[in-house]
Chains A and B, each alone.
Chain A
Amino acid sequence: MTTTILELFEVSAWAGIAAVGFGILFNIPRKAILTVFLLGFGAGFIKFVLLHYNINIVLASLIAASFVGILSLPLAHGIHQPPVVFSIPAVIPMIPGYYAYEMVLSIMSFTFLEKDDSKRLVFMEAIFSNGFTMLFILISLTIGVSLPLLLLRKHTAKRVDLR
């Protein structure tokens, strides 16, 4: 049990590092770096815990991204930055790159490499399952990040009254 928890922390820490790496690529302000790390870490931790309990990856991503979206409101007030600055880098580690990779490889194999019909059927299944998982994860990440602002019907974090 403790090793599982330690492993979860280790992987989540790497998720935080990945978030900061992308944040620096996107040139986030220096003040936001620690926040981005903590948000990336928290989101990663939530996602991996949910995955550990066999929750579907789309739902897990939605919950983790909502965590980022909801926390980014008070944080935007706290460090005086617009929420996108730290919410987008924090969810970047959850971008379904692996599913995109699997989908594209299946498309390539389906089109160029495999001639046997029964094996092509397997690739067909892989294209659809990976492709739609990727699409739904992307949608849930977006909804999760923009959910609080959508719900409050506000265009800007500044005018949201937190009291």
Chain B
Amino acid sequence: MKTENRLESIADLLLEIASILMVSGANTNRVDVNIDRFASVLNCESYSLISQKTMILTVIDNETNENYTKVKNLPAHKIDFTIISAISKVSWNALDEDWSLSRISQEIETIKKQKRYPRLVVLLAVSFAGAGFCKIFGGDYLNLALAFISTFFGLFILQAAHKRKFNTYVSVFLASLTASLLASLGVYFNFGAQPEATLATSILFLVPGVALINSFTDLIDKNVLNGVVRFTNGIMTVLAIALGLFVAMLIFQLK
């Protein structure tokens, strides 16, 4: 009975770690490797089925051969590389110093409580990224300024929609519409040297880069299902972006 309780809490911990990693934007292989590492610290073996919304995990005690299986649903995805980095570090420390179960879960709790960058910092940084994209596609500094403003308000709308728990694709559509409406003003009034560059780059902050890159790394690692799911999610997001852009161009009668 006692080992079963221990195994249950191990399964809970491993599922918790796997779900945090998955939600933070780790690829499937990284989740697998981290889970195996933690399991070996706790003197167990673990086998898992990882998908985008649900995980199934079995832990087997190396000594008694008892096993325990559990299923967990994942929360909404929110990319966070600090968490990925921190969990990777904890896993190595745990392996080197042979941590106990309670020590590991304590560390995971502190990782979960870590703060993100303040909202304004994120807004400004991403707007600078939008301006950078505009520069890469040959805009001048007037175009850059408009790309900055469009990205700023687009991301603002995206965050507001996320907070109100809108459907992801609806939020992306609204953000894309906002950003491209603002950028279309530049094309309409022929603002700067290359107003089209502003229009094309004002929506690039929405492009699901992590999903697309992870989808291909998953496919290379033969995690085909997860790879295809990520790719499909990415394409859906791209379609939502395109729809927003298309509506804005219809409103301004641009071709």
Contact = CB atoms under 8 A, between A and B. Distances in A.
Interface residues of B, number: 54
Contacts of B249: 105
A34 interface: no
A150 B220 contact: yes
Interface string A77-105: 00011101100110111010110110011
Contacts of A10: 135
Q: What class of interface size applies to chain A in its complex with B?
A: 35 or more
Given A21-B125, A29-B85, A85-B84, A15 B132 contact: yes
B128 interface: yes
Contact of A14 (B131, B200, B238): B131
A145 B213 contact: yes
Contacts of B217: 142, 145-146
Contacts of A85: 81, 84-85
A139 B246 contact: no
B72 interface: no
A155 B34 CA distance: 10
Given A15-B132, A18-B136, A146-B217, A101 B125 contact: no
A20 B129 contact: yes
B207 A97 contact: yes
Given A139-B216, A146-B220, A21 B132 contact: yes
Given A92-B209, A97-B207, A98-B200, A84 B30 contact: yes
B213 A93 contact: no
Nearest to B117: A24
A101 B200 contact: yes
Given A14-B132, A109-B255, 17 more contacts: A18-B130, A19-B129, A22-B209, A24-B122, A26-B25, A29-B85, A32-B81, A80-B89, A85-B81, A95-B204, A95-B212, A101-B200, A104-B245, A104-B246, A105-B246, A142-B217, A143-B216
26 contacts: A14-B136, A15-B136, A18-B129, A19-B129, A21-B126, A24-B125, A25-B125, A25-B129, A26-B25, A27-B82, A27-B83, A29-B85, A80-B89, A81-B85, A82-B84, A85-B84, A92-B209, A93-B132, A93-B133, A98-B201, A100-B238, A104-B241, A104-B246, A142-B216, A142-B217, A158-B92
